Amino acid sequence: MADGTSLKFPVSLYNGREVNPEDELEPLSEQTYFIVPDKCTECKGMYNEPQCLVVCPDPECLIIPAKYRETDEKLFRRHFWLNW
């Protein structure tokens, strides 16, 4: 989270969990990329389309479980919370 944001410790995520934005987390897998829902804004407020789709060699493999689908309003709020 610290990369490119002004967040300071502790940060309370939308799910109530507190984290230190300076901490680097270990990857869950070396073969699979995971998008962290608490940090994903689907690039709302930054780009015209999600950049994961732009760089992914197989965009059809991107699966967004229904429990993580969010409104544009919520995605914009998260973008501004992370970046301002």
The CATH architecture of the domain made up of 32-83 is 2-Layer Sandwich (3.30)
Q: What is the pLDDT of residue 74?
A: 92
Q: Is residue 15 a contact partner of residue 78, using CB atoms and an 8 Å limit?
A: no
Q: What is the pLDDT of residue 76?
A: 92
Q: For residue 11, what is the enclosing H or E element?
A: strand 11-12
Q: Is residue 7 a contact partner of residue 38, using CB atoms and an 8 Å limit?
A: no
Residue-wise pLDDT tens digits, 15-60: 777 878 777 767 777 777 777 777 889 999 889 988 888 888 887 8
CB atoms within 10 A of CB 41: 20
Query: Is pTM beyond 0.75 here?
Result: no
Q: What residue segments make up the domains of the chain, in order of their start? A: 32-83
